[in-house]
Structure 1
Amino acid sequence: MVQLWRAFGHLVPLFLIIVLGVSVITYFVSKKRKSDRVIVNLLFIFSIIGILLVTVYPNAYGPGMPRVVNIVPLVGMYNILFHSVDITIPIRNLGLNILLFVPFGFFLTLKTSSFQRKLNLFVILTGFIFSLFIETVQFAIPMGRSSDIDDVILNTIGTFLGYIIWKLFNSKSSSISSFKETSNGKM
């Protein structure tokens, strides 16, 4: 993760702005025209590809690479939060794990919102399973990455935040549409 931060850290603010802008535009475009589901599906696939590139791309590869695993929840997060000498370390490690899965949660919710009754549970469970799959791959294939239960927790939180952002957009969009309908009916 440190190598990725060094290489792409300066692009994180731009990435955040682009993801937010694309998410808002995609949401409103897909609400207006149901035929634009192709765009939502593509963005969902791009979010999965982006996650896989960041999490499964090997730092190094070979049978001699050590396999590191942390199965004790919250200990790693506690150590990073309270024992880091630099404030940017918790932001990079914890924040980017959450941020990485926000687009996934947003586009998954947008993609499945029309036919899921228990949407929040479905989105959270899907984010959890996808993150668990990634951590399993990181442990199973010797590529210089560590497998950490804290990453599963943070990634699941990121997926849930994507769902919450979708809910906020959906409620704002519904209130704006109902306001327009009532104001048009009164005139």
Structure 2
Amino acid sequence: MKKYILLGVPLIFYGQSLLIYFSNVHQFLLIILQVLLNIAIITGCMIFLLKRTRLQNVFDWIIGICFSVYFCILYHNTVEFLFIFDYVHFTLNNLRSTIHFSVNLIPIKGILDVLHNNPSPLFQIVGNAFMLTPFAFALLYFKWSKNNKQAIWFSFLCTVGIELVQFLQSILSSMFEIGMGRSSDIDDVILNTFGAVVGVGCYYLWVKIKQLVNQKIKNSGVTF
């Protein structure tokens, strides 16, 4: 049961935002609702993963804490729910315009747009490329997936799920200004899946290093 201490990470991560808006009562009440919803979603996902997790040594705990922080950051930067509730006049043209400008289904087009229009394109592309690398590594490290193919498949489903949620958030934003308008891009799926492959490679590199180190210290009886 000690492993459920990690559920405190999202509480700390999102709890600090309450202090920022405490001075404005009306905004504070809205922020409470927003924070509670996001904490509930993250906590539910973490409980699902922790039920399948065994933390047997110090290094397992370190990886577990790092993954918990990473998971909060990943959620915050991709699908976090924001409440604005500022009604806008909705028309079908607005919806079509939102879909046109926020959805890209042409491979490589999004990457080229970033290279031409973003002041720091390398940062954004590399960020997307390695966004799910820790996720894929954790899938194998904690045995949440049975093999590398399954880890890549789960990562692929994760990135597709993120893009679908972002698409729905764009629709809600265009209709009612509920949340943040986000873009959905097939290139993000490609880059994220590539990052998952890198994560799988990092795990197998870790296994090889672990085997070499354990061979050197096997007489001492200490392993990690």
**Length-normalised TM-score, structure 1:** 0.64
Report which of the two structures shows the higher radius of gyration computed on alpha carbons: 2
Name the residue aligned to 1:112.
143
- Residue by residue, what CA displacement relative to the aligned partner does 1:36-55 show, whole Å, maximum 9, x if unpaired? 65665554444333211111
41-50 vs 70-79, which moves further: 41-50
Question: Aligned runs of 1:158-169 on 2, under 5 Å?
Answer: 158-169=195-206
The whole-number CA distance in structure 2 between the counterparts of 1:148 and 1:85 is: 15
The whole-number CA distance in structure 2 between the counterparts of 1:43 and 1:150 is: 27
Match of 2:112 among 78, 92, 97: 78
Provide structure 1 residue ranges, at least 5 long, that are not aligned to the other structure: 1-32
- Residue by residue, what CA displacement relative to the aligned partner does 1:50-108 show, whole Å, maximum 9, x if unpaired? 21111123689666683410011122223434x3575x31x122111123212112211
Q: Which amino acid aligns with 2:110?
A: G
Q: Secondary structure at the match of 1:141?
A: helix
The alignment-based identity, stated in percent, is 28
Name the residue aligned to 1:170.
207
- How many residues are aligned here? 148
Provide structure 2 residue ranges, at least 5 long, that are not aligned to the other structure: 1-54, 171-179
Work out whether 1:123 is the aligned partner of 2:151.
Answer: yes
Name the residue aligned to 2:182.
145
Q: Which amino acid aligns with 1:171?
A: K
70-79 vs 58-67, which moves further: 58-67
Larger helix proportion, structure 1 or 2? 1
CA RMSD of aligned residues (A): 3.4
Question: Aligned runs of 1:1-187 on 2, under 5 Å?
Answer: 34=56, 40-41=63-64, 43-57=66-80, 66-67=98-99, 68-81=102-115, 83=116, 86=119, 88-89=120-121, 91-112=122-143, 116=146, 119-142=147-170, 143-181=180-218
Kept in 2, the 8 Å contact 1:40–1:111? The answer is no
Greater length-normalized contact order (CA 8 Å, ≥ 6 residues apart): 1
